[in-house]
Amino acid sequence: MPSTIRTVLPLSIVTATSMLAMDLFLPAVPTLQASLGIDVTLAQATIAVFLAGLAASQLVWGEAMTRLGPRRCVLIGVSLLVLSAFGCALAPDIGWLLAMRALQGAAAGAATVVAPSVVRATLPDEHAVKGIASIAMIESAVPAAGPLLGSALLLAMDWRSTFWILGGVTLLALPFVVRVTPRELPGLDRTAAAGYLAILGNRKYLRLALCHALCFGALLSFVASAPQLMVHAFGLGAGSFAALQLMSVLCFMAVASQSGRISRRFGPARAVQFGCVAHVALCGAFVLLAWLGRPGFVGVAVFWCAFCAVLAVRGPAAFSEALALPPVQMGRASALLMLAILAAGALGTQGVAPFMSGPSALPLALAMLLLCLASFAMVLPYPHVRTVASQSPASQCPP
């Protein structure tokens, strides 16, 4: 287990700093708007270009990891994250800031590709699920803690301070992350087919990736729509969304800490299928409550906490199973999976956006149910077929 911690902890830190580039900055957007004398549209663009850079960089980092290796990718990605953070802090105008934010998003993409690939390739199966769950716990904590920390910083400093602090923390983490990241994934065979078409031709990977992405599409649709839901459906303020996020993050982390044991006891396939069934049932109950009338804040909070707890069971198992591929394919496979998650989240969010000004939660509940039903369909039946070549070398090593 100490080797697991030595691998996962630095990768979790760099993943967290990459996510903080979004969440620590969010409270500073109104201050930034006043400081640079820009309108709301341009201020919000600092968020949009970051997400665009993150999405656009996925396939680039997947290709780079195969060609350059994980260590060089981490060195380049984290270095760019530091430089872009300092560039944002020094930005003289909105044009420069938007360029640096786009670069920052692209740099953050390195962690989302490298971290799960390294964990899956270097740890045995049972530890890989726990390692991915540990990274997911950090990822879930950042959206809850980041805005709170960002708001606290603004009490004493201006918006530029968030970027100075982000760059400094990332710079401190850089040597530790580079040290733990291998030059090449263990058992790398460059003669094996490694192109994106070969990966997409693997039906087990494709179905598990779609299953995971569609589930996250439901999750991201709720997260993006919940602030509007709190205001228009329940007449509550911004604090209600923060409370909702805090409760759900705590539930996710509590269950994720046991996800390795759950997967080891029942098997990844049962963990994924159980999660799919539970999500369909939860979203069905949410639809029924919304159809009968306003479910109330307590009802939504119970639903959302249960949804996140179930995700902690199925998510790490599905991600680990999807990446059970030859090491030469892992970087590109991780990139495709992250791109699918971002696309599903964007489509789900935009699909329900026109209905979020109304007093009903029914459109959001229906969208989540449809996404979860589609996710369940991907693993019914579960794609068990696995060739000998698809086994990760790490999965054949003793714990």
For residue 161, what are the CA distances in angstroms to 13, 78, 165? 20, 19, 6
Percent of the chain residues topping a pLDDT of 70: 89
Share the mean pLDDT of the chain.
83
Instruction: Pick the last residue of a domain from 151, 180, 209.
Output: 180
Domain membership of residue 395 (yes or no) is: no
pLDDT of the residue at 397: 38
Half-sphere exposure of 90 (CA within 13 A, CB side): 7
Rounded CA-CA distance 166/102 in Å is 16
Instruction: Look at residues 180, 206, 230 and tell me which one is the last residue of a structural domain.
Output: 180
The answer to whether residue 191 sits within a structural domain is no
Residue at 57 is within a domain: yes
Name the more confident of 135 and 1.
135
Give residue 223's domain range. 196-385
Check whether residue 356 and residue 317 sit in a common domain. Answer: yes
User: In whole angstroms, how far apart are CA 180 and each of 5, 10, 166, 370?
Assistant: 11, 7, 21, 41
Q: What is the pLDDT of residues 140-159, one digit of tens each?
A: 777 667 766 777 777 788 88
- Pick from 170, 71, 195: nearest CA to 121: 71
The pLDDT of residue 280: 98
CATH of the domain at 96: 1.20.1250.20
Exposed e or buried b per residue across 310-329, where buried means at least 16 C-beta atoms within 10 angstroms of its C-beta: bbbbbbbbbbbbbbbbbbbb
Q: Could you tell me if residue 187 is inside a domain?
A: no
Q: How many domains would you assign to the chain?
A: 2
The percent helix, strand, coil of the chain (3-state, each to 5) is 80, 0, 20
Which whole-number Å values give the CA distances from 144 to 137, 148, 346, 399, in the listed order?
11, 7, 20, 34
Same domain, 236 and 148: no
Query: At which residue do the structure tokens 């004493």 appear?
Result: 156
Cα–Cα distance for residue pair 355/353, rounded to 1 Å: 5
Q: Quick one: DSSP state of residue 386?
A: -
What is the C-alpha radius of gyration for the chain, rounded to an integer number of angstroms? 21
Q: What is the pLDDT of residue 389?
A: 40
**Distance of alpha carbon 335 from its chain centroid, rounded?**
12
8 and 137 co-located in one domain: yes
Taking the C-alpha atoms of residue 166 and residue 161, their distance in angstroms, rounded to an integer, is 8
> Are the beta carbons of 180 and 7 closer than 8 angstroms?
yes
Tell me, yes or no, whether 88 and 159 share the same domain. yes
Judge whether 151 lies within some domain.
yes
Pair (202, 168) in one structural domain: no
Residue 185 lies in a domain: no
Question: Hey, what amino acid is at 56?
Answer: A
Regarding whether 204 and 169 lie in a shared domain, the answer is no
What do you get for the CA distance between the two ends of the chain, in Å? 8
Highest mean pLDDT among 82-96, 109-123, 224-238, 325-339: 82-96
Q: Which of 46-50, 338-342, 375-379 is least confident? A: 46-50
pLDDT at 394: 43
Average pLDDT over residues 278-288: 96
Among 160-169, 299-308, 383-392, the range scoring the smallest mean pLDDT is 383-392
Domain's final residue, options 149, 180, 211: 180
Q: Say how far apart CA 385 and CA 398 lie, in whole Å.
A: 23
pLDDT of res. 269: 92
Give yes or no: residues 89 and 13 share one domain: yes
Please tell me the least confidently modeled range out of 5-19, 51-65, 276-290, 362-376. Answer: 5-19
CA–CA dist 320, 306 (Å, integer)? 22
- Residue 85 — very low, low, confident or very high, per pLDDT cuts 50/70/90? very high
C-alpha–C-alpha distance, residues 341 and 356, integer Å: 22
Q: Which of 21, 304, 301, 310 is nearest to 143 (CA)?
A: 21
Q: Is residue 27 part of a domain?
A: yes
Whole-number Å distance between alpha carbons of 279 and 255: 15
Where is mean pLDDT largest: 134-143, 146-155, 291-300?
291-300
Predicted pLDDT at 116? 83
- pLDDT for residue 289 is more than 50: yes
Same domain, 219 and 289: yes
How many Å apart are CA 151 and CA 362, to the nearest integer?
A: 32
Distance of alpha carbon 399 from alpha carbon 395, whole angstroms: 9
The phi and psi torsions of 363 (rounded to 5 degrees) equal -60, -40
Q: Are residues 106 and 57 in the same domain?
A: yes
Do residues 138 and 250 share a domain? no
Rounded CA gap, 195 and 203, in Å? 15
pLDDT (mean) for 324-337 = 88
pLDDT digit string, tens, across residues 22-78: 777 777 777 787 888 888 778 778 887 888 888 889 889 988 888 888 889 989 999
pLDDT score at 126: 65
pTM attached to this predicted model: 0.79
Q: Assess whether pLDDT exceeds 50 at residue 6.
A: yes
Does residue 397 belong to any structural domain of this protein? no
State residue 103's pLDDT score. 95
* DSSP state string for 223-276: HHHHHHHHHHTT---HHHHHHHHHHHHHHHHHHHTTHHHHHHHH-HHHHHHHHH
Residues 76, 221 share a domain: no
- How much is the pLDDT for 189? 67
Shared domain for 236 and 356, answered yes or no, is yes
Convert the pLDDT of each residue in 205-248 to its tens digit.
Answer: 999 999 999 999 999 888 878 877 777 777 776 567 778 878 88
